[in-house]
Amino acid sequence: AISAIPLFGREVKMGSAKRKPLWDKTGKILNACRAVYDELGPGHMEVYYQRALYYEFQALGMEFGREYEIEMYYKGHPIGKRRADFYFGDVILEIKAKSELDKVDFMQTLGYIRAANVPVGLLVNFGAPKLEIKRIINSKANLNRGNHGD
C-alpha cells in the first residue's frame, strides 16, 4: 500500500478525509497497473506493460485511448503533437519501465495533462523493484475550455 504520493513537492496522505479528483477512476486504473505488475514483475520493456494494460482495461470495460495524440499549442497556434500512453477522458496514464522515476518523467506527464487540459495524470513505473506511482494534479485544468485555451 502506498502511504503518500508527492504532489509538487509536498506529501499528501492517501487516507486523508479530503477526496482527490477522480479518485474512483484513478483507483481502478491503478488497480489494473498493480494486477499487471503482480503478474509480470519488473524488468520488461515498456511496450509489454502497455500491451498487458490494454487487455486489462478492456477486461474491466473501461473506455480509453492508447497512444493518445495530444496537439501542442502556443498562443492558440498548433506547434506539434505528443503521445500519451493511455487517455481516459479526464485522466492520462503515462507508464515507464526504468530503475526509478526522475523529474523529467514528472515534467513530461505534467506537460501532457496541461496540453490535454485534463485534471489528473498518473505516472507509473513498472521497472523498479516495487511499483512506483505518482499522481499529478493539473491545477490549471479548465474543463469548460478547449485544450489550447479557446
pLDDT tens string 69-93: 999 999 999 999 999 999 999 999 9
Give the pLDDT score at 147: 52
Distances 139 to 1, 75, 143 between C-alpha atoms, Å? 26, 19, 11
Q: 21-137 sits in which CATH class? A: alpha beta
Give the pLDDT score at 141: 78
Domain ranges of the chain: 21-137
* Residue stretches of the chain with pLDDT short of 50: 1-19, 148-150
- As a whole number of angstroms, the distance between CA 144 and CA 132 comes to 32
Q: Which residue has the cell 502506498?
A: 2
